[in-house]
Amino acid sequence: MIPSRGRGVLDGSDSHAGSYFSSKPGNPAMWIRGSLNPVNLLNRDTEDKDAPWCKCCDDDDPSHDCGCTLLSEVFCAGRIRVGNMVVFKQNKNAQGEPVLSLLVGPFWPMLMCITYPLIIGISCFVYIKIAPILHPLALFGWFCLTLTVIISLFLTACRDPGILPRYTSQPHSSWRWNDQAKTYRPPGAFYDDECGVVVEEFDHTCPWTGTAIGKRNMGPFKVFVSSICALILIDIILTSGAMSMGKS
């Protein structure tokens, strides 16, 4: 059994599954390829059911596919999917439930082709300008701040933002039904149409990080925002000073 398109189970020889994660169902045919280790997973509150993923995705016809981006289909074939999120690594907790350890959101091409190149490219330019004139301790501090930006961006982009497991029965009276993901959701959890999942304490979808911002990646996101603002300011000051010294 292979988990795919939600915290669910998918028999590699069948396109029917019961989902574990609260994601919009979709056709797994474009994603379940390559070598994947079998993992037996069950729904949070119901046994696995033989039910189609959704009415428009109950066969292997690519024209019926929904929620897939072309780049993900091309470059991430063989990876499992939760909504529009691509999962690269998952583990199981003490209760045997799946834990998404490494994944990217639907806007990962922007993360890889724009956000990271901008940060790294500008940082390299600044380093070339300031390295000859800056005190080693100050240069070390600048390097640490730059590294903080890069690492916090990775933790924001590649961490589970707080994808809610699917609940087919109401755990509490305050929970409301979400029709897109076919699950009950607690207050503060919302369905993100771009990521195709219900995210706990959902804040927004950030194309720069490529993913949704929610309960589990809000911490590193705040570190990323504050550190990159500080880095931009420091880069402007240091580069301006270096260029002024070069002219004098």
User: Which residues lie below 8 Å from residue 161, measured CB to CB, with a gap of 6+?
Assistant: 105, 195, 199, 202, 211, 212, 213, 214, 215, 216, 217
Helices (H), 88-135: 108-110, 116-130
DSSP-based three-state secondary structure for 42: coil
CA dihedral of residues 141, 144, 146, 151 (deg, nearest 10): -160
Q: How many CB atoms lie within 10 A of CB 89?
A: 12
Residues 154-165: what's their mean pLDDT? 93
Q: pLDDT by residue (tens digit) across 209-225?
A: 999 999 999 999 999 99
Taking the whole predicted model, whether its pTM rises above 0.85 is answered as no
Which pLDDT value is given to residue 23? 53
185 forms beta bridges with 176
pLDDT, tens digit, for every residue of 42-85? 333 333 333 322 333 333 444 434 434 566 665 666 678 888 88
Give the CA distances from residue 103 to residues 28, 64, 129, 157, in Å, rounded to whole numbers and listed in that order: 16, 25, 36, 8
**If you ran DSSP here, which 8-state letter would residue 48 be given?**
-
